[in-house]
Amino acid sequence: MTDTPENANKPANMQWGGRFAGGPSAIMQDINASIGFDRKLWRQDIRGSRAHAAMLATIGLLTREDEHAIDAGLEGIAGEIEAGSFAFDVALEDIHMNIEARLTDRIGEAGKRLHTARSRNDQVATDFRLWVRDAIDGLSAQIADTMQALARRAADHAADPMPGFTHLQTAQPVTFGHHMLAYVEMLDRDRGRLADCRRRLNACPLGSAALAGTSFPIDRRMTAAALGFDRPTSNSLDAVSDRDFAMEFLSAAAISAVHLSRLAEEIVIWCSAPYRFIRLSDAFTTGSSIMPQKRNPDAAELVRAKTGRVTGALVALLTVMKGLPLAYAKDMQEDKEPVFDAAEAWALSLAATAGMVRDMTPDTVRMRSFAGSGFATATDLADWLVRVPRLPFRSAHHVTGRLVAMAEARGIDLAELSLADMQGVEPGITADIFSVLTVEASVASRTSYGGTAPANVAEQAARWLAVLA
């Protein structure tokens, strides 16, 4: 590097050693530094360094005196960062160099020995896995909390009918509790994906060094165990260049965000004036600057919108990793911001969703009045024709369609047709048909496993509340 007005009089980065005589240009420093975002890894970095120091002392590469000094120094640095007094230096590029430089300032030569048998490559891979693992644990707990809120609603409204939709058209009556439990199932799959991701990421890269391992007689199983990993990674090249765990985390986040956006959309619809199925309080709505009557479901709308940030983060990281040769490349510095941003958006969306579910007041009378609209019991009529006069289902479907057309032409519901009207289409119909044409009879009849019958819903809600307790 030649001296230019941009780098003249700038000291070399002492963390790099003697290879570089001059400092980086201002532009190079800006594009190269990651301390602006990877400072989030400070807890994981200190934890990894303490485990590494303990291992180095155990195998004799550090004295116990040096280990104790390093441990105390790192604890002091953690206190400084917690207190907000730590001076992060962009010239030191990243969280690893910032902590190591401060450690050396505090304890002298012992601090310089900490980096023995490791590289920033395996260090950041370890820190990032630890961070994602911590995020998984927190988000899994949030998912469980949201599931619990939904299951409680399901238990409270196991027998309250509402219209079930396909194509956003009235299809068949269901219960509000059954609808809530559908999202419990979705979120349980989200939680399962996080558990799978956690299991796969739980191998420790520390000790892989830059890419080839190290000649020092380190004990990788010791550091892996100290950091709560199941095992050390088996291939040093893969260990420092693998970001599958981050992509898998973002994939789980994106799917879950889509699930949350579906519920958010339904909340927006249910709050709207044409529906008015639920009401949200002031805690989760906002007003209008010009229309005083408005109560906008902004929390739901923002949950719906944050899906774009989460899915965008997944696409961004997939694009960063596409085509990268082994092993580490600086491109991979761009892995953390999408993960940090997506995790924050996901956590906030889960908190808002759980809050709205607990806050909402369902209008069960209005939902019941809509549950039978749009000839919602037509399938019950067809099923009765199969069960009682034993018509083939396709014939029963045809008869029912003719009766729906008749009722629609008269502007009445199926149950308002006379028995004579019905028998004019199908002579096998008896007065018993009217027993299946109510909303309550419809939902009560859906007793198949997983169906909307109130007894089913109550049982499933109780099961989930027990699981989530």
180/188 Cα distance (integer angstroms)? 13
438/134 Cα distance (integer angstroms)? 51
Q: Which two tokens stand for residue 223?
A: 């550091």
- For the four alpha carbons of 268, 270, 271 and 274, in that order, the dihedral sign comes to positive
SS3 106: helix
Q: Which two tokens stand for residue 281?
A: 């309080």
Q: Is 85 a catalytic residue?
A: no
Q: How far apart are the first and last CA of the chain?
A: 62
Q: For 296-307, b where at least 16 C-beta lie within 10 A, e where not — what string?
A: ebbbbbebbebb
Asked whether the beta carbons of 96 and 74 are under 8 A apart, the reply is no
374/169 Cα distance (integer angstroms)? 8
Taking each helix axis as running N to C, give the angle between helix 120-156 and helix 244-271, from 0 to 180 degrees, rounded to the nearest 10: 30
Closest by CA position to 219, among listed 69, 57, 100, 48: 57
**Cα–Cα–Cα angle for 9, 12, 15, rounded to 5 degrees:** 155
Phi, psi values for residue 22, rounded to 5°: -115, 170
Phi, psi values for residue 228, rounded to 5°: 80, 15
Active-site choice (167, 234, 289, 448): 167
Active-site choice (281, 288, 373, 435): 288
Q: Residue 365: how many CB atoms within 10 A of its CB?
A: 8
Q: Is 167 a catalytic residue?
A: yes
74/116 Cα distance (integer angstroms)? 16
Closest by CA position to 216, among listed 208, 227, 228: 208
Q: Which two tokens stand for residue 447?
A: 């007793």
Kindly give, in sequence order, each residue whose CB lies less than 8 Å from that of residue 370, ignoring residues fewer than 6 positions away: 162, 163, 170, 275, 277
Q: Please, which residues bridge with residue 165 across strands?
A: 170
- Half-sphere exposure at residue 4, Cβ-oriented, CA atoms within 13 angstroms: 7
252/346 Cα distance (integer angstroms)? 10
Q: Active-site residue numbers?
A: 167, 288
